[in-house]
């Protein structure tokens, strides 16, 4: 059994939140540059150039890539041979998020109640998913999903007779309906199968 101090998790979540807000993933940046090379519309080329330049400035100056610094989702793979000490896991994750948004001067958008709308001023609580895995390690992934893209999420319960074409058609229509409101270019997370809630979980994890 391997013992891990809960403070390590708090520190890791803080660093991941800052990195997610300041540094555009390399595969996304590569895709944007490839799109710029293929693009023929002058207006579209200018927009792609601006997005790429923005990413470079954010990384260099350690400022947020986007003014919407997102709702934090944390995915934890907890090894079955891991023992945690020094505190509560959920509390450590939320404290890590709070530390990041304070240190990074990131916008705090989370409210304590969807109807009362009072800001918690910490960007917590975050959404935390925990899966038990084999081994003595902990894997942590952090997503800072902007609320504009979250608001354009879509789900459909298909009949068992639905074809691959039907599924692709639904996804295509969801993208069209989102239009420019979710800040293009889009990255799609698609979850298929299981229950209503599980497919949404798979989508966010993707």
pLDDT tens for each residue of 126-146? 999 999 999 999 999 999 988
Read off the tokens for 40.
């023929």
Q: Which residues contact residue 103 at a Cβ distance below 8 angstroms, ignoring those fewer than 6 apart?
A: 14, 18
pTM, 2 dp: 0.92
Encode pLDDT of 139-197 as tens digits: 999 999 888 888 899 999 999 999 999 999 999 999 999 988 887 778 899 999 999 99
What are the start-end ranges of the E strands in the chain? Answer: 2-5, 71-79, 82-85, 127-133, 138-145
CA–CA dist 87, 202 (Å, integer): 29
């Amino acid at each position: 059994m391997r013992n891990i101090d809960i403070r390590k998790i708090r520190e890791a979540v803080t660093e991941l939140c800052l990195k997610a807000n300041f540094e555009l993933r390399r595969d996304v940046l590569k895709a944007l540059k490839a799109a710029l090379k293929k693009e023929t519309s002058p207006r579209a080329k200018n927009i792609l150039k601006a997005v790429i330049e923005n990413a470079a400035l954010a990384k260099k100056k350690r400022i947020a890539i986007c003014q919407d610094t997102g709702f934090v989702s944390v995915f934890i793979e907890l090894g079955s041979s891991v023992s945690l000490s020094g505190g509560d896991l959920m509390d450590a994750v939320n404290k890590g998020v709070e530390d990041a948004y304070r240190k990074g001067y990131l916008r705090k958008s989370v409210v304590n109640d969807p109807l009362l709308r009072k800001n918690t001023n910490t960007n917590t609580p975050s959404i935390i998913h925990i899966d038990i895995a084999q081994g003595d390690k902990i894997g942590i992934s952090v997503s800072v999903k902007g609320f504009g893209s979250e608001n354009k999420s879509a789900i459909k319960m298909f009949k068992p007779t639905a074809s691959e074409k039907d599924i692709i058609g639904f996804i295509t229509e969801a993208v069209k309906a989102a239009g420019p409101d979710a800040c293009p270019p889009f990255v799609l997370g698609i979850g298929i199968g299981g229950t209503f809630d599980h497919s949404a979980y798979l989508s966010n994890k993707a």
